[in-house]
Structure 1
Amino acid sequence: MSLKTIALIVLGILVLILVVSNIVIVQQSKAYVVERLGAFRAIWNVGLHFKVPFIERVAKRVSLKEQVADFAPQPVITKDNVTMQIDTVIYFQITDPKLYTYGVERPMNAIENLTATTLRNIIGDMELDQSLTSRDTINTRMRAILDEATDPWGIKVNRVELKNIIPPKEIQNAMEKQMKAERERRESILQAEGTKQSQILVAQGEKESAILRADAEKQAAILKAEGEKEARIMAAEAEAQAILKVQQATADALKLLNEASPNDQVIKLRALETMVKVADGKATKIIVPSEIQGLAGLAASAKTLMESDAAQK
């Protein structure tokens, strides 16, 4: 192989390496700032690009993702002359790679210094208590100020958060004592409320129990009264039925007697039978009607008749 052939092969390899090395692939969420002979040429977005060798160069590779900057705590003085340490977190995104590249030298240092200055201005107009309870207000004001200030740098500030607010040690101790006293006060209130509710529940239980007992006694009294009433009614009905039957028997007897047309002797004889039954009773005294006293003779006849009946039996 001749020297000329070897030189052509080497030259071809060099040209190929040069061409391949100047092929640039831009990834997703990236942007390349390209300069030609030191001047801004273009911004390459995602895709395949070719850089002219020795004339063009990639000046800066920029990430278009949202980024987080966590700055160290900054000393801040409140309106009532209390020095606190506050560290902030900023969420930002590069919207214009050209402005980000040429707008400001060292953009992150610029953002950190701007954040510290803005924070001191805002906290300086607030007292300690207000600054501790107004995080949302401080975050909103800082985001608006920083977003407007960084717009010429091609940066958009999406969110600002106060990560920590650290007051002086003596103020922390006082705040802890105050919080402890507040917790104890709330605990006492809760215990008092619990005792009150417990007493109320016990009273309500006793009240309901007394009401139930009274209702039970009332129902028992009503049932007892109704039972006694029913018993008296049944006794009265039985007595009335008995009287009615006696009267009915008496009426039937009188009816039969009237139908038989008895003479005076039969009537007197019936009267004597009645007196005999009365005499067989437990009465110690017997009052004999005057109409019967003259029946001595009739009594003898009655005795004869009874003996005759006994002999026949």
Structure 2
Amino acid sequence: MGTTLVILLVIALFVLFSSFFTVRQQTAVIIERFGKFQSIRQSGLQLKIPVIDRVAGRVNLKIQQLDVIIETKTKDNVFVKLKVSVQFMVVKETVYDAFYKLEYPHDQITSYVFDVVRAEVPKLKLDDVFERKDDIAIAVKRELNEAMTTYGYTIINTLVTDIDPDIQVKNAMNRINAADREKTVAEFEAEASRIRIVAKAKAEAESKRLQGQGIADQRREIARGLVESVDVLNRVGINSQEASALIVVTQHYDTLQAIGADSNSNLILLPNSPQAGSEMLNNMVASFSASNQVGEMMKKGNKKKRKEEDDYKTPEYLEPPTDEEQED
């Protein structure tokens, strides 16, 4: 009698504990009765009929992520690996469809991702794949949403998280990038060199201009000084030729004194005799006189040549008529 009571008590405790179960937050539990769908239980403490009802499965309602790696070929025949991350979740109101209509959701999502990526990437060149990866992700999300909504799933987001071309292609791209940067550096260096050369040329031109202006001013002042010196000498009874000779001799000795003042100079001035200044003046006067005579002769020759050309160009019908022509 006591043994029977114990057995009944154990059975009663088993039935009691098997009648209650808990469902975790963001989880849905499918209850079946004799293999047939009975109900969907949400989070909290739940009750079921022992032996008759059973927990057929649990559905995760959290956002899940599936990473899919696809290898495909671009339009320019470059093989590339793409990593696509798909974020999805089961809609709370469609737990039944998610549990009973789809056996392996991850495999289904992977198949659609492969299909979309291998349809979109071959349309693009490798550079365009990098630039338009967001367009690829949008196309994957659109296709997945259309397909997975039927099974109770919604696609939160799709991301192309990695694009990995073949190693040889990456090395070639790095070399192209390096060459492009070297080209840019060379262009900037050439431009900088050009700017330096132009600036140096402008500075030299300005220096030459200022130097020439200084020399012109110096010579102008020297000429004014010479004129004033000649005027002063004329006023004391010295004629222009004597004044010019005196000025030349004075400048000659000033030059000798300036050369002698420099102890490191190895310049020799020839001739350096006292008659050198007088001879230099006579030679200058003779040169100026000869130059003036040549200039006058050239002017006369040009006038004669122009007159002959004008006579040659005069038409015959403009010549004055003869006496016989006037009588006729």
Q: TM-score range by the shorter chain?
A: 0.5 to 0.7
Identity of aligned residues (%): 28
* Alignment match, 1:19: 16
Give the residue type in structure 2 aligned to 1:161: L
For 1:78-157, what aligned pairs fall within 5 Å after superposition?
A: 78-95=74-91, 96-157=94-155
For 1:232-311, what aligned pairs fall within 5 Å after superposition?
A: none
CA deviations 1:23-61 (Å, max 9, x no partner) are 111111111111111111111111211121122111111
Residue 175 (structure 1) aligned to one of 173, 176, 181:
173
Q: Go from structure 1 to structure 2 and tell me whether the alpha carbon gap of 1:191 and 1:47 turns closer, same or farther (over 3 Å shift).
A: farther
> Residue 173 of structure 2: SS of its match in structure 1?
helix
Instruction: Return the alpha-carbon distance in structure 2 between the equivalents of residues 198 and 99 of structure 1.
Output: 76
Structure-1-length-normalised TM-score = 0.57
Structure-2-length-normalised TM-score = 0.54
CA deviations 1:94-113 (Å, max 9, x no partner) are 11321111112211111111
Instruction: Return the alpha-carbon distance in structure 1 between the equivalents of residues 60 and 133 of structure 2.
Output: 30
How far residue 194 of structure 1 moved from its aligned partner, in angstroms, is 8.4
Instruction: Return the alpha-carbon distance in structure 2 between the equivalents of residues 166 and 178 of structure 1.
Output: 17
Instruction: Return the alpha-carbon distance in structure 1 between the equivalents of residues 195 and 59 of structure 2.
Output: 66
Instruction: Return the alpha-carbon distance in structure 2 between the equivalents of residues 158 and 116 of structure 1.
Output: 18
Q: Go from structure 1 to structure 2 and tell me whether the alpha carbon gap of 1:153 and 1:192 turns closer, same or farther (over 3 Å shift).
A: farther
For 1:2-41, what aligned pairs fall within 5 Å after superposition?
A: 4-41=1-38
More displaced 10-residue stretch of structure 1: 183-192 or 118-127: 183-192
Instruction: Return the alpha-carbon distance in structure 1 between the equivalents of residues 177 and 118 of structure 2.
Output: 27
* Alignment match, 1:56: 53
CA deviations 1:259-289 (Å, max 9, x no partner) are xxxxxxxxxxxxxxxxxxxxxxxxxxxxxxx
Q: Go from structure 1 to structure 2 and tell me whether the alpha carbon gap of 1:178 and 1:55 turns closer, same or farther (over 3 Å shift).
A: same
How far residue 18 of structure 1 moved from its aligned partner, in angstroms, is 2.2
Instruction: Return the alpha-carbon distance in structure 1 between the equivalents of residues 151 and 195 of structure 2.
Output: 64
CA deviations 1:115-169 (Å, max 9, x no partner) are 1111101112222222121111111111111111111111111111112222223
> Residue 119 of structure 1: SS of its match in structure 2?
helix
How far residue 196 of structure 1 moved from its aligned partner, in angstroms, is 9.8
> Residue 80 of structure 1: SS of its match in structure 2?
coil
How far residue 185 of structure 1 moved from its aligned partner, in angstroms, is 4.0
> Residue 57 of structure 1: SS of its match in structure 2?
strand
Q: Go from structure 1 to structure 2 and tell me whether the alpha carbon gap of 1:78 and 1:198 turns closer, same or farther (over 3 Å shift).
A: same
Instruction: Return the alpha-carbon distance in structure 1 between the equivalents of residues 188 and 145 of structure 2.
Output: 47
Assess if the C-alpha contact under 8 Å between 2:116 and 2:139 holds in 1: no
CA deviations 1:159-197 (Å, max 9, x no partner) are 111122222233212211112123334555666788999
Give the residue type in structure 1 aligned to 2:98: Y
* Alignment match, 1:47: 44
Instruction: Return the alpha-carbon distance in structure 2 between the equivalents of residues 153 and 196 of structure 1.
Output: 69
Give the residue type in structure 2 aligned to 1:39: K
Instruction: Return the alpha-carbon distance in structure 2 between the equivalents of residues 145 and 197 of structure 1.
Output: 58
Q: What are the ranges of 5 or more consecutive residues in structure 1 without an aligned counterpart? A: 200-313
How far residue 77 of structure 1 moved from its aligned partner, in angstroms, is 1.9
Q: What are the ranges of 5 or more consecutive residues in structure 2 without an aligned counterpart? A: 198-328
CA deviations 1:207-239 (Å, max 9, x no partner) are xxxxxxxxxxxxxxxxxxxxxxxxxxxxxxxxx
Residue 76 (structure 1) aligned to one of 67, 72, 77:
72
Instruction: Return the alpha-carbon distance in structure 1 between the equivalents of residues 157 and 136 of structure 2.
Output: 11
> Residue 46 of structure 2: SS of its match in structure 1?
strand
Q: Go from structure 1 to structure 2 and tell me whether the alpha carbon gap of 1:93 and 1:196 turns closer, same or farther (over 3 Å shift).
A: farther
Instruction: Return the alpha-carbon distance in structure 1 between the equivalents of residues 28 and 72 of structure 2.
Output: 38
